[in-house]
Chain A
Amino acid sequence: MLTLVALASLLVLAAVPEPSQAIVIYTGWERHALVGTEVRLSCSFFSWRWISEDVTFSWTYRPDGARDSISIFHYTGGMAYVDNKGPFRDRLEFVGNPGRRDGSILLKNLEFSDNGTFTCDAKNPPDIGGRPSSVRLLVFEKVPIQAGVITGSIVGAVLGLLLLIVVIYYLMRFLVARRVFSLSVSKHGKKKKEGSQQRQGPAPAADPAKPKASEKKKQESRKERK
């Protein structure tokens, strides 16, 4: 019985179709950078297979307004090959880690002519089907203020300040109330103790007086009877 179940499960597992072989590549959507600085273009991928030794990365560049793209970087067989004759000679550096599925490159000393679209294509044999992903590079002279950043920060700061004031106000009220409560409790305790001491004082004086009074009454009653 058990062997039958084991055989059946093996058959089922073997019959499960393998997932699609497409490799999925991720880069950013847009990168903004200042002229003269450097920018890191990241590229990573997801694949159903283990990383093979023949994993390859390649970057191509298409300037804004141009129709053709040129190859600028290729990584294969464990070696990174950087373009030494194109517009990026001596400015391109490989900073990725293929073992961790990272194929990022670093662009240094940016110029205005570097505006364009960079496409990353990764292959992980036998997983080679997939769509290359592109990132758009925008080079600025001065970093522009993004829409709504100042607005949002002013509104957030003022409302946060208001909230803080309200919280502090209620905290102070709570603390002051607690202090007043503890003070009144201690006063009550002192008064009670004083009151009990006073009652004990006159009581012993009254007790010896009482037997004397009763004795007097008894003597009077005996006299009256006589």
Chain B
Amino acid sequence: MFVLCQAESEISVRDSQPAIKRAAIMLILLAAIFALHIIGIILLLVATIDNAWWVTETLSTDVWARWIYINGMWNYTDLPTGSHYPQDYLQAVQASSVLACIFSILGIFVFVAQLFTLNKGQRFTISGVFQALACLSIMIAASIYTDRFHLDESIGSYGHCYILAWISFALTFISAVIYFVLRKKTA
């Protein structure tokens, strides 16, 4: 009787160890995905809000306004209007980058909510969809900006917000792919 009990307890311990391991891996994975998503959101917000898509030594301009360095001070001025600075494309860039931020933030809320409510097979579909939409939007914004603005200007280069926009495009893409892959694995 005693020997039987001991044998049973050993078997149960051996079975629970892989289960604990699996749970730990799952937790680490979830934390990593969450961190990746948050980094994507932060980069998107910086790229949208800060005015530095195109910089020269005295100029820092973007989708919202323009900073000009005059007499030792940075001045905040409106963007120029004219044929070389099409207003409607500018507003399209504004709208797309704002939409990318909104989709990404909605995605993180949906992800956290889904962790607690949905069944296993459907866990990450919707957040994956939102991340994919955010990826698409920021790609549209950056592409329109590249194609329509600063085409003939030789002085100056793309600023940190532009670079962050493309980096966040890559991050949101990877994030969406991971969400879709995980959906398959936990089904």
CB within 8 Å of A: which of B51-105? 81, 87-88, 91-92, 94-96, 98-99, 102
A152 to B99, CA, bound (A): 10
A189 to B81, CA, bound (A): 74
Give chain A nearest CB distance to B174 CB in angstroms. 23
Give chain B nearest CB distance to A149 CB in angstroms. 7
A67 to B148, CA, bound (A): 44
Interface size class of B (residues with CB under 8 A): 10 to 19
CB closest chain-B residue, reference A149: B91
CB within 8 Å of B: which of A124-158? 144-145, 148-152, 154-155, 158
The majority secondary structure among interface residues of chain A is helix
Q: Does A8 contact B (CB under 8 A)?
A: no
Q: Decide if A148 touches B99 in the complex (CB within 8 Å).
A: no
Q: Decide if B88 touches A145 in the complex (CB within 8 Å).
A: yes
A199 to B91, CA, bound (A): 77
Contacts of A151 in B (CB 8 A): 91-92, 94-95, 98
A154 to B102, CA, bound (A): 13
Q: Does A159 contact B (CB under 8 A)?
A: yes
Contacts of B88 in A (CB 8 A): 145, 150
Give me 8 A-to-B residue pairs in the complex whose CB atoms sit less than 8 angstroms apart, sorted by A's number.
Answer: A144-B81, A148-B94, A150-B88, A151-B92, A151-B94, A152-B95, A154-B95, A155-B98
